[in-house]
Amino acid sequence: MKNTAIILLVCLLSSFADAKHHQDGDLKPIFNGKDLEGWTQKNGTATYRIEKGAIIGKTMEGSPNSFLCTDQLYHNFELQFEVKLINDELNSGVQIRSQTKELNGKEKTRGDQFGRVNGPQVEIEATKDKGAESGYIYGEACGGWMTPKEKLIPHKNFKNGKWNKYRILAKGPVIKTWVNGNQISDLKDEEKYQSHPTGFIGLQVHSIKKGMGPYEVAWRNIKIKELK
């Protein structure tokens, strides 16, 4: 009887592992690990390079926020990636369903020839003594924090100096996020969905103050599954 129970448990664990593998297998890479084919830098003068299968973003003093963006646009999807802040001083994020908008004369002099990137951004921030806001959702150049103030509670799920796994599920007006397996956000924003139903994915290198940096952030294993 005991042996039968053990065999049943092993079978169940095996089935679970197969199901998880199948689920992960539905995700398709949108970064090939070798070059930036399929990606275009739209704003700023920060640099992006490939190193050991990862995209490394490096700050440039005097540059506005920079974004390396997918050429393809996405509507409903599950996005997974790993990210590491090489320097904890750097704040970063990943744009989803984002767009560009026409610039005024001042902005055009700063190298943003494609138009100002705007849309929902999933926050990437090093954990401080009181925690971090990693995984919450910010409206880049379109209104500021989308996560309500009362839910913007710092946490310690982001691991400094290590690779952190993000999962983002965007379906209709709902955006859910996880950091290292811990759910951070379950946000429903009808207004933002109306203005930003579809768009590109963008990797942000934040601007820095004069005399600071250079700082770096790295992304790898960027995969997506489009949903109906």
pLDDT at 17 over 50: no
Q: For residues 90 and 68, what is the distance between their CA atoms, to the nearest angstrom?
A: 16
- Classify residue 2: in a domain, yes or no: no
pLDDT tens track for 25-44: 699 999 999 999 999 999 99
pLDDT in tens, 63-122: 999 999 999 999 999 999 999 999 999 999 999 999 998 766 555 545 566 789 999 999
Q: Which helix (H) or strand (E) holds 170?
A: strand 164-171
Q: What residues have CB less than 8 Å from 120, skipping those under 6 apart?
A: 95, 96, 97, 98, 137, 138, 139, 140, 146, 175, 192, 196
Encode pLDDT of 193-222 as tens digits: 999 999 999 999 999 988 898 999 999 999
In a domain, residue 188? The reply is yes
For 8-24, the DSSP string reads HHHHHHHHHHHHHHHHH
Is 16 a domain residue?
A: no
Specify the range with the lowest mean pLDDT, choosing from 23-27, 59-63, 72-76, 161-165: 23-27
Question: Is 7 part of any domain?
Answer: no
3-state SS class at 65: coil
CATH number at residue 157: 2.60.120.560
The whole-model pTM stands at 0.86
Q: Is residue 9 part of a domain?
A: no
- Determine the average pLDDT of the residues in 120-143: 97
Sign of CA dihedral 10, 11, 14, 20: negative
Angle at 124 between CA 121 and CA 63, to 5 degrees: 75
In a domain, 6, yes or no: no
Residue 19 belongs to some domain of the structure: no
pLDDT category at 13 given cuts 50, 70, 90 is very low
- What gap in Å lies between CA 55 and CA 41, rounded to an integer? 13
State the average pLDDT over residues 126-142.
97
Q: Is the pLDDT of residue 20 over 70?
A: no
Note the pLDDT of residue 114. Answer: 74
Q: Are 159 and 140 in contact (CB under 8 A)?
A: no
Q: Are 76 and 224 in contact (CB under 8 A)?
A: no
For the chain, the domain total comes to: 1
Q: Which domain holds residue 201?
A: 30-226
Residue 85 lies in a domain: yes
